[in-house]
Amino acid sequence: MSTEPAATAPLSVEGLTTSILVGTTWYDAVRDISFHVRPKETLALVGESGCGKSLTALSVMGLLPPAAVRVTSGRIVVDGVDMTAADEPTREAMRGDRIGMIFQEPMTSLNPVLPIGFQVGEALMRHRGFTRRQARERARELLELVRVPAAAERLDAYPHQFSGGMRQRVMIALALACGPRVLIADEPTTALDVTIQAQVLALMADLQEKEGLALLLITHNLGVVASVADRVMVMYGGDVVESGPVHAFFARPTHPYSEALLAAMPRIEGDLPLQPIPGQVPSLTEMPVGCRFQTRCPIRDERCAVLPPMTTVAGDPDHRVRCWARVEA
């Protein structure tokens, strides 16, 4: 792992708050989150639906639906460019060039009526002024890079002629076309079968190493996190509740939500009894004041009405948790 300081990391987010308009009121769906991702590093953003992990990714990409969602405060710096201060043409120039994104559904993210080769090369024509021929040549190299078999022959194939796993490879090729420094992957393997998921995850790890990518991986699957991430951030109700290096986190999950989430996961080995988390995530309009997990927390007390700060775990400055009961003396 590189020791590059946070300020010069390819992706750094400082105090990001993103709000959603419900009726006539703005509610904070992502609250004051900060992180950075270094080259060759994978940061996993993990949590259940509604925790704000995808919204964070969209905020970074500047792809929020303008009328109903907005970044209310914070700074997002991608490869030295402040995305929050930039105008739309600048952000557009960044997307697909310095920062790439892959989505959960490779079918709906590809245009069904355009050949694969063209779609992969399109960003190069847009951002790098490649000619059609140059773009096609580079597209072939990219498809080979993501190990699509018989890449040259499949440049003229259409998305429906590819299987789900192959389409996700194409999406990766597309995201990497301009050699971005940052890749955001939003549930990239969730729609895939496990054996294909393993292949795609291996491919991503391999490419990341080769290209020196900073990878922000958004997932609900703690198994995937354990397999590929270097660091993890657990989100609940728009807050980061725990963050730390993967080994430290799994060795010592500290926030009650992290513990509960791990206990709720059925495993294929070991003998841990399944422990559901009671209740459900409150809707955005009914979030409690203070710690948002308090409505389902087994160890809540009166302190939880105030949002706890992030504090260190076991004296490890990298492993931090947001819980009054876990504040170390």
Binding site for another protein (CB under 8 A): 20, 22-23, 29, 48-55, 58, 68, 147, 149, 163-166, 193-199, 201-202, 220-228, 246-247, 250, 260-262, 264-269, 274-278, 280-281, 283-285
Among residues 54 and 208, whose Cβ is nearest to another protein? 54
Minimum Å distance from CB 251 to another protein?
9
Among residues 129 and 279, whose Cβ is nearest to another protein? 279
- What CA–CA distance (Å, rounded) separates 65 from 111? 21
Q: How far is CA 166 from the centre of its chain?
A: 21
Minimum Å distance from CB 228 to another protein?
8
Minimum Å distance from CB 115 to another protein?
16
Minimum Å distance from CB 247 to another protein?
5
Minimum Å distance from CB 193 to another protein?
4
Residue 307 vs residues 127, 218, 238, 240: alpha-carbon distances, Å: 44, 24, 12, 11
Query: What letter would DSSP give residue 287?
Result: P
Among residues 271 and 302, whose Cβ is nearest to another protein? 271
Among residues 119 and 219, whose Cβ is nearest to another protein? 219
- What CA–CA distance (Å, rounded) separates 78 from 20? 23
The one-letter code for the residue type at 223 is: G
Minimum Å distance from CB 198 to another protein?
4
With 0-12 / 13-18 / 19 or more C-beta atoms within 10 angstroms meaning exposed / middle / buried, residue 276 is: exposed
Contact (Cβ atoms closer than 8 angstroms) between residue 238 and residue 30 = yes
The one-letter code for the residue type at 127 is: H
Among residues 214 and 261, whose Cβ is nearest to another protein? 261
Among residues 148 and 174, whose Cβ is nearest to another protein? 148
Instruction: Give exposure, 223-260, as e/b (b: 16+ Cβ within 10 Å).
Output: ebbeebbbbbbbbbbbbbbbbbbbebbeeebbbbbbbb
Write the DSSP string, 189-252.
Answer: TTTS-HHHHHHHHHHHHHHHHHHT-EEEEEES-HHHHHHH-SEEEEEETTEEEEEEEHHHHHHS
Among residues 86 and 226, whose Cβ is nearest to another protein? 226
Among residues 193 and 328, whose Cβ is nearest to another protein? 193
Minimum Å distance from CB 76 to another protein?
17
Minimum Å distance from CB 13 to another protein?
16
Minimum Å distance from CB 307 to another protein?
21
- What CA–CA distance (Å, rounded) separates 194 from 197? 5
Among residues 58 and 124, whose Cβ is nearest to another protein? 58
Write the DSSP string, 12-79.
Answer: EEEEEEEEEEETTEEEEEEEEEEEEE-TT-EEEEE--TTSSHHHHHHHHHT---TTTEEEEEEEEEET
Query: What letter would DSSP give residue 105?
Result: -
Provide the H-helix boundaries in 252-312.
256-263
